[in-house]
Amino acid sequence: MTQLDGRLAGQVALVSGAGRGIGRATAHKLAADGARLVLNDLDPEPLAGVASEIRALGGAVETHAGDAGDPRFGDAMVGLALEAFGAVDIIVNNAGYSWDNVIQKTSDEQFQTMLDVHCLSSFRLLRAASEPMRTAAKQDAERGETRHRKVVNVSSLSGIFGNPGQVGYAAAKAAIVGMTKTLAKEWGRYRINVNAVAFGHIATRLSQPMDTPEAETQIGARRIRLGIPRIAAERDKGCGILGRDGTVEDAAGGIWLLCQPESDYITGHVLEVSGGLAF
């Protein structure tokens, strides 16, 4: 692979939460299709590992390690993309994690954190990218060219159907759907396609049983228990029409589809990537 291979050759893609799981698989898939990457993750070590993997295959990558909930996150990502590559063509808002509980046991801090890391971080990145993306679209029009740029926001079936024990997470993922549909209408005249993917049961840290040792992470000063209750994990396992859980590659494939030229007439859409699972 070289950075000139593929149908996304020369395009610049920003992917948040790219150190593990779906974000990592998405970074690899976009790079294999020729995109130059600006990757973010909270954890520097896995982020550096992904960047090294892609560079070893000939891809062009810049990284920004840091919390997507930081107010400076959006400006930092867009600034890095413009400095390194001079453009922003694709944005994948993937960063996030679950911090679950039933409503009577959910604190204000817990609820607000879910809104911040999933929805507010996506808003800030898109707001920061608005000026360079719109300016590039106007320059295309002046040259008589038509180019489509792509935004893919990561939601969840929880944000569409709700899910017990996920009042904060589901509210944040539902907000992403509303933001997606609004920006599709605001940015349609600039040929910026804004879509979302809603994942079902994808095999990641967020879908494993909460009582496994791996289902814990450090977020700032807090230890967060990730995953879902074991009874729910066992209930949902293989429950989609296809009879199996999704892989991170399956999830990345849905994102990749919405970055391709074939999606140029698709905008404001929420693509369910769930193997047919419906809550």
Catalytic status, residue 169: yes
- Cβ atoms of 70 and 42 closer than 8 Å: no
Q: Judging by DSSP bridges, how do beta strands 149-156 and 90-93 pair with one another?
A: parallel
Q: How many CA atoms lie within 13 A of 248 on its CB side?
A: 18
Q: How far is CA 57 from CA 12, 26, 54, 197, 226, in A?
A: 17, 15, 5, 27, 32
List helix spans (H) across the chain: 21-32, 44-56, 73-85, 108-114, 121-142, 157-161, 167-187, 230-236, 248-257
Parallel, antiparallel, or unpaired for β 149-156 and 36-41? unpaired
Gap between the Cα atoms of 49 and 65, Å rounded: 12
Q: Tell me the sheet residues that pair with 37.
A: 13, 61
- State how far the alpha carbon of 96 is from the alpha carbons of 16, 113, 128, 155, 206, in Å: 9, 10, 19, 10, 10
Tally of residues, the chain: 279
Q: Which residue has the tokens 């809550």?
A: 279
Residue 75 sits at φ, ψ, to 5 deg, of -60, -35
Catalytic residue annotation = 169
